[in-house]
Amino acid sequence: MELFDIEEIKRRAAANANASRNPIVDGAPATSNGNALAPIRHPQQDFFLAQIFDAPLKDDQATMEHPMFSLSKTPDLKIRVYEHNGNTITITPSAAGLATIWDKDILLFTISCLVEAQNRRLPIGRTVRLRARDLLVYCNRGTSGAEYDALVKAFERLSGTRIKTDITTGKKRTRQGFGLVESWSIVERTTSNRMASIELTLSEWLYNAIVATEVLTLSRDYFRLRKGLERRLYELARKHCGLQAKFAIGLETLLKKSGAICSVREFRRQVREIAATGALPDYSITFDSNRDLVTLWTRDGGKRLRRMIQEVRDRGITTLDEVGS
């Protein structure tokens, strides 16, 4: 199986870079609701990381559309069965619990690296080697020992959570159960015994989506969202608004699609609270209590259009009908 080594991609980028090596500041602007977001922990990224990861953050459409992750940091040990519009997903957690939406950061980093390499016409494969610190910095996390320990647990949940679904990716159906991360291992440690390099193998199901460019661009402020439900609502807004100004959905349907484990009453309270903070990058939320209807609105139509144009270029799309909405 071909190994995709991010360090090798960095070396190639450095060889092709111009002579200017000034630190690059993350160009993604913070939203106007800075107090509702976590701080930017690494405003100045090292040269090689910035050169490789200056492309927009990517997410696969299948996991954006369907609730595959726990929104809680408390271990979730329940088997979930989700059915919607003819699709079925059964998600079985390991003894360590269901993979969480924060664990998904690992996948977002990996997907972004693979899509970037693919755009550069470099060979890619399901097995990826990456450096733990790059992952933490990219995902706006700290770099203390506790963060490295948390990564180990996240990998365990991602590989231990088993999924069985009839949803196709890249026009292919995976009929057996799988983990989003098929396997992983620490291949290099620092002198202080922290993980330095990690090798992971993605499931064919997820890799097929990447190769087929079934991905969408996210705001880098996604990593600054503090709450699991905020992250999930942002994913759904990004997936469903597309080029539209808004996307309306009933509260109970939204609860089902979010994957939140709570009563309708509690979910209604949480949605209202998030709507009031205005924390979601690029989107706002309004709630019609008379109809129990949630509407997700695009804030900046010009910014949205520029992002969609970039996706058209990345994916070789010839008509706007092909763009995910």
Regarding predicted confidence, which is higher, 290 or 42? Answer: 290
Is residue 123 located within the same domain as residue 205?
yes
Beta strands in the chain (DSSP E): 3-5, 24-25, 44-45, 57-60, 80-84, 87-92, 127-131, 162-165, 181-189, 195-202, 215-218, 246-250, 283-288, 293-298
Mean pLDDT, rounded, of the chain: 83
User: Are 136 and 269 found together in one domain?
Assistant: no
d(CA 215, CA 186): 28
DSSP structure string for 159-190:
HH-EEEE---BTTB---S-B-SEEEEEEEEE-
- 108 shares a domain with 257: no
Residues 55 and 191 in one domain: yes
On whether the CB atoms of residues 7 and 129 are closer than 8 A, the answer is: yes
* pLDDT confidence bin for 14, thresholds 50/70/90: low
Q: What is the pLDDT of residues 204-213, one digit of tens each?
A: 999 999 999 9
| Domain final residue, candidates 170, 202, 224 | 224
* Predicted TM-score (pTM) of this structure: 0.81
| One domain for residues 32 and 134 | yes
Domain limits at 299? 227-325
Neighbours of 43 (CB within 10 A): 9
